[in-house]
């Protein structure tokens, strides 16, 4: 299979429904019963029903693919070259991979034509099939490994920290106290396309990055003027599984690494075990726990510098496990918020070779 573009030998203006009297061949039937299967984040297989006569005659297949949100009534005009794939006829189902830069977890529309190439180079083509919609999948384990490798290359040295924290507005904490019996309950993660946890894994988000000069959490926050702080050992200890979940940026110079903390044997741990890469608590470049070496010593906690860590804890957290305080800085740095995260698809640091 091969893609066509402007300037290549195939002229879309010459692919026509043969109503100009050039061809005396019988018309091809319209492909029907389109089926999509084996969908991944960057590939799929497609098949359809054809008559035995058309199966024997067809020399080429034309595939028209576009994102669902960009549908256009003129989408199937032959001059819409960028959306088309021209393939020599092969046994169905036909694999489609790498001909477009398919995005993970994205809805697409697809339609097909069958064609017979004529001796003069023109094509006898069928009508377009009906349009079928499908959605690509999440990153597979091998794609997350690529992201993990890239993320490792962006981390700096490990810095000590002592607390996890999350900022919110006063209304949030008032609601937790009055309506949720002091419990901060997990919620869905939304963010970078492709990560298996987005919209599927519940969690309470925390930060742990510190300022270089003080070793303390930053004074500012884009999420709210009140900060809940909890001792690091409550969330990070030998009874916790640590997973790498995502690496992305939002058209900025700094990058985010998403980690998951799940109590061993919990529902969150079970979810992550088959979908994410587990990290060694004591030896990884992002977030570490070092057990006390001598009686009376305290555990040591470290976080990576040069990236912003987003830590998802998969269980409810009680306010009594920590404290809520007003931050001394500003809380309107909206450029840093990931509430509606949208990954920069052009960034060479955090994008992987899916679909290429």
DSSP bridge pairs for 191:
none
Please tell me the distance from the alpha carbon of residue 1 to that of residue 45, in angstroms, as a whole number. 13
User: Tell me, what's the pLDDT at 79?
Assistant: 36
The band of 45, judged by pLDDT with boundaries at 50, 70 and 90, is very high
User: Tell me, what's the pLDDT at 182?
Assistant: 96
The band of 133, judged by pLDDT with boundaries at 50, 70 and 90, is very high
User: Tell me, what's the pLDDT at 193?
Assistant: 66
**Per-residue pLDDT for 53 more than 80?**
yes
Maximum C-alpha span of the chain:
93
Instruction: For residues 291-304, give the mean pLDDT.
Output: 92
Classify the C-alpha dihedral 127-100-122-14 as positive or negative: positive
Residue holding tokens 């195939």? 10
User: Tell me, what's the pLDDT at 219?
Assistant: 86
Q: What mean pLDDT value characterizes the chain?
A: 82
Q: How many CB atoms lie within 10 A of CB 155?
A: 18
Classify the C-alpha dihedral 50-54-59-65 as positive or negative: negative
**C-alpha to C-alpha distances, 147 to 57, 155, 238, 247, 264, nearest whole angstrom:** 45, 13, 26, 6, 24
Element (H, E) at 171: helix 170-179
Asked whether the whole model's pTM tops 0.85, one would answer no
- pLDDT tens per residue across span 229-287: 999 999 999 999 999 999 888 777 788 999 999 999 999 999 999 999 999 999 999 99
User: Tell me, what's the pLDDT at 285?
Assistant: 96
- pLDDT tens per residue across span 199-230: 789 999 999 999 888 888 988 888 889 999 99
Please tell me the distance from the alpha carbon of residue 258 to that of residue 352, in angstroms, as a whole number. 16
The band of 104, judged by pLDDT with boundaries at 50, 70 and 90, is confident
Please tell me the distance from the alpha carbon of residue 142 to that of residue 119, in angstroms, as a whole number. 45
Please name which of 303, 300, 259 lies closest in space to residue 285, comparing C-alpha atoms: 303
Q: Which two tokens stand for residue 308?
A: 């912003």
- pLDDT tens per residue across span 64-96: 988 886 544 444 433 333 457 888 889 999 988
Instruction: For residues 166-190, give the mean pLDDT.
Output: 91
Contact 292, 343 (CB under 8 A): no
Instruction: For residues 138-166, give the mean pLDDT.
Output: 90
User: What's the residue count for the chain?
Assistant: 356
- pLDDT tens per residue across span 309-343: 999 999 999 999 999 999 877 655 554 445 555 56
Secondary structure (DSSP) of 98-154: SSS-PPTT-EEEEEEEEEEE-TTS-EEE------EEEE--PPPHHHHHHHHHHHHTT
User: Tell me, what's the pLDDT at 356?
Assistant: 44
Q: Which two tokens stand for residue 60?
A: 């080429």
User: Tell me, what's the pLDDT at 296?
Assistant: 85
> In order of start, what are the domains of the chain with their CATH numbers?
32-137 (2.60.40.10), 142-326 (no CATH)
Element (H, E) at 299: none
**C-alpha to C-alpha distances, 89 to 85, 113, 181, 213, 233, nearest whole angstrom:** 12, 11, 63, 64, 61
DSSP code for 57: H
**Per-residue pLDDT for 51 more than 50?**
yes
User: Tell me, what's the pLDDT at 32?
Assistant: 93
User: Tell me, what's the pLDDT at 231?
Assistant: 97
């Amino acid at each position: 299979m091969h893609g066509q573009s402007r300037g290549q030998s195939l002229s879309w203006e010459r692919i026509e429904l043969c109503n100009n009297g050039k061809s005396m061949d019988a018309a091809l039937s319209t492909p029907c019963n389109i089926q999509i299967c084996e969908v991944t984040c960057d590939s799929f297989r497609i098949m359809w029903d054809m008559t035995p006569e058309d199966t024997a005659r067809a020399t080429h297949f034309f595939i028209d693919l576009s994102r669902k949100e960009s549908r256009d009534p003129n989408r199937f005009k032959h001059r819409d070259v960028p959306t088309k794939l021209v393939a020599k006829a092969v046994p169905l189902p036909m694999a489609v991979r790498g001909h477009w830069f398919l995005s993970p977890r994205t809805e697409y529309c697809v339609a097909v034509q069958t064609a017979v190439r004529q001796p003069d180079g023109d094509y006898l083509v069928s009508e377009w099939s009906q349009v079928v919609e499908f959605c690509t999948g999440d990153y597979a384990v091998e794609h997350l490994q690529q992201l993990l490798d890239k993320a490792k290359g962006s981390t700096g040295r490990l810095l000590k920290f002592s607390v996890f924290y999350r900022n919110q507005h006063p209304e949030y904490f008032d609601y937790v106290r009055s309506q949720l019996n002091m419990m901060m309950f997990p919620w869905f993660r939304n963010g970078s396309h492709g990560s298996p946890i987005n919209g599927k894994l519940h969690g309470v988000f925390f930060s742990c990055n510190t300022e270089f000069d003080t070793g303390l959490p930053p004074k500012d926050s884009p999420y709210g003027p009140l900060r809940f702080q909890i001792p690091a050992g409550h969330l990070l200890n030998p009874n916790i599984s640590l997973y790498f979940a995502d690496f992305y940026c939002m058209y900025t110079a700094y990058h985010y690494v998403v980690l998951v903390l799940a109590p061993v044997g919990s529902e969150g741990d079970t979810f992550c075990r088959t979908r994410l890469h587990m990290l060694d608590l004591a030896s990884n470049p992002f977030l570490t726990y070092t057990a006390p070496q001598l009686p009376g010593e305290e555990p040591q906690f470290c976080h990576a510098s040069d990236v912003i860590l987003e830590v998802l804890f998969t269980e409810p957290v009680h306010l009594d496990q920590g404290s809520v305080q007003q931050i001394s800085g500003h809380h309107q740095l909206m450029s840093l918020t990931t509430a509606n995260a949208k990954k920069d698809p052009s960034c060479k640091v955090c994008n992987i070779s899916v679909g290429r």
